[in-house]
Structure 1
Amino acid sequence: MARQIPAQNLICPLDQKPLQQEGNSLRCESGHSFDIARQGYVNLLPVQKKRSKDPGDSKEMIIARQNFLSAGLYQPVSEHLNQLVKHLQPTQRSCIIDAGCGEGYYLDRLEQMLNEQTPEAEHNLIGLDISKWAVQAAAKRNKNISWMVGTNAQIPVQSESTDIIICMFGFYDLERMAEKLKPGGLVILAEAGSEHLIELRELIYSEVRRTPLPDLSDALAEQFHLVKEERLTFNPDTLDAQQIQDLMVMTPHLYRASYEGKQQAQSLTELKITADVVFRVLQKNG
């Protein structure tokens, strides 16, 4: 039985020609072929696009994030995203890309919401991440979604074939995203606010920086306009010792913290944290 990649708008990462499924592979007219893994995903990350042998989040980071998110600690973030899409999303079939999908938590829950809202629409959902460990984990979640290893710097879909691109706490390139969006298409960015995980940061750093959000003025002047900006702040359930360690491992804080800070985090048996997330919705001009 052939393994399926539902998306019909994929392109070859080597020559940008359309990909068609043949058996358990995706092929372009130039003869480039990409096998669909037994887990149900495809690797569309060319070797020359890799900056390391194993780019993206490590296997340990993905396991930690799976454990943390599966406990529902960031469920309000998922629900806020779903409500944003629900109010923006037309009822007909649409293409939605999660650029930097990680282990698939947010896109899986979004697909479930859309399926309940408009089961007849058969939306085209694509999850993309540069980490093969992330995509392998995501592919086990939901077979209705097209999962692939790839880079946000070269999203492997046809130009102007996408309705919504979401990016949850990840790297984004708005110029490249604009190429893939239909006129009037949307980008939804979820980014850490200044108070995000402030309790943990004060514990592990000698000096806490409240870095402002990236400035989008260039993109807003040329390709997009801002539809809305919303801030979500909440306090998840108190973390236990294992969840504290999972939070450290799944974020860059493990690598940035001082030795003393890591030791303090490891000694904790519980921790109350603040989640502070800013959502920005941009619409492509035209």
Structure 2
Amino acid sequence: MYIVPFQSLACPLDGAPLQRSGSAWRCPSGHSFDVAREGHTNLLPVQNKRSRDPGDSKEMVAARRRFLNAGGYQPIAAAVARTVLRHLPPAADAACLDAGCGEGYYLRQLAGAAAAAAGDHTLALLGLDISKWAVLSAAKQFAQAGWVVGSNANLPVRPGAFDCVLCMFGFPVHPEFARVLKPGGLLLQVDAGPDHLRELREIIYPALKPERPAADAPPPAGFVRLDGEAVRSPLQLAGQAQIADLLAMTPHLYRATAEGRARAAALDSLAVTVDVRLAGFERARSA
């Protein structure tokens, strides 16, 4: 399978198709968006920003890059890649979006697994994140995918463009995911399970909140629920730097008290549990 950048982008201002012309993407109305030297494009209009620098900071992105590239979450990436490749149409060109791609780790792992699969068809990849620092890091590390700064609330892509949408520990916007998925396409959401990083949470919080019982919620509108999967594995964190990187890439960094962060910073090693849930949903084939 050949990996190529996704090209079916849409103007974030009027939804019209974008065409690549030299170092910019342009729509028929004349809106133009420059392609950065690293190969990514900012498709997040200023009026759609809720802050000057939305999303993860430069420091958080760097911490996530160091931690993920060390391989601690590789079992998650492998499970995601298996699920996606199993669901893609056989012997046909396909496209996949990572909605909230961060610095691109999971899309790179998917690309590696897809490239090793048999066949002469293509898989077009697009990573999107609201953080310009995340998209910059992703573009620097892997030029074979398309990378854009954008929002899940207004995906700058054409309707029915994807066979798969990933939402990794992110903020799902199901109406938009339904709009950009083909009928029968896969939405794969990955979220923390009840024991995810429990050992770290026990250190940084005075007490853990009781786990809410799993609700048998209906699937999002326009989707059919598929079988899910749990990924659980031990992870040994070696050294203060790796512990700090893990904490910095999670919401716990801001939720923990100063005392809790200090207790984590004093650790030289820590064994934690990786516990995540893969929830699959198929885009309904008929209204």
Q: Which residue of 1 aligns with 2:148?
A: 148
1:39-78 to 2 correspondences below 5 Å: 39-78=38-77
Letter in 1 for 2:164: I
Please say if residues 193 and 212 of structure 1, whose CA atoms lie closer than 8 Å, have aligned partners that are also in contact: no
- State how many pairs are aligned: 281
Report the alpha carbon displacement of residue 274 of structure 1 after superposing the two structures with TM: 0.4
Letter in 2 for 1:100: G
| Higher mean displacement: 34-43 or 200-209 | 200-209
- Distance of 1:63 and 1:36 partners within structure 2: 22
CA deviation profile, 1:221-276 (whole Å, cap 9, x unmatched) = x3111111111110123332110010111111111101110110011010000000
Q: Which residue of 2 aligns with 1:19?
A: 18
Runs ≥4 residues deviating over 4 A? 210-216
Please say if residues 235 and 272 of structure 1, whose CA atoms lie closer than 8 Å, have aligned partners that are also in contact: yes
Report the alpha carbon displacement of residue 86 of structure 1 after superposing the two structures with TM: 2.0
Letter in 1 for 2:232: T
Letter in 2 for 1:227: L
| Higher mean displacement: 44-53 or 82-91 | 82-91
Please say if residues 174 and 219 of structure 1, whose CA atoms lie closer than 8 Å, have aligned partners that are also in contact: no
Closer, same or farther: CA 113–101 of 1 in aligned 2, 3 Å = same
- Distance of 1:239 and 1:175 partners within structure 2: 42
Q: Which residue of 1 aligns with 2:36?
A: 37
RMSD over aligned Cα, in angstroms?
1.6
- Distance of 2:67 and 2:166 partners within structure 1: 21
Q: Which residue of 2 aligns with 1:10?
A: 9
Closer, same or farther: CA 65–210 of 1 in aligned 2, 3 Å = farther
Identity %: 45
Closer, same or farther: CA 51–216 of 1 in aligned 2, 3 Å = farther
Which sections of structure 1, spanning at least 5 residues, go unmatched?
Answer: none
Report the alpha carbon displacement of residue 63 of structure 1 after superposing the two structures with TM: 0.5
Q: Which residue of 2 aligns with 1:208?
A: 208
Please say if residues 58 and 134 of structure 2, whose CA atoms lie closer than 8 Å, have aligned partners that are also in contact: yes
Report the alpha carbon displacement of residue 9 of structure 1 after superposing the two structures with TM: 1.2
Closer, same or farther: CA 210–239 of 1 in aligned 2, 3 Å = farther
Please say if residues 195 and 210 of structure 1, whose CA atoms lie closer than 8 Å, have aligned partners that are also in contact: no
Please say if residues 219 and 225 of structure 2, whose CA atoms lie closer than 8 Å, have aligned partners that are also in contact: no
Closer, same or farther: CA 210–230 of 1 in aligned 2, 3 Å = farther
TM-score by length of 1: 0.94
Report the alpha carbon displacement of residue 119 of structure 1 after superposing the two structures with TM: 5.5
Report the alpha carbon displacement of residue 215 of structure 1 after superposing the two structures with TM: 6.1
- Distance of 1:254 and 1:214 partners within structure 2: 25
Which sections of structure 2, spanning at least 5 residues, go unmatched?
Answer: none
Q: Which residue of 1 aligns with 2:133?
A: 133
- Distance of 1:239 and 1:228 partners within structure 2: 35
Report the alpha carbon displacement of residue 81 of structure 1 after superposing the two structures with TM: 0.7
- Distance of 2:163 and 2:210 partners within structure 1: 33
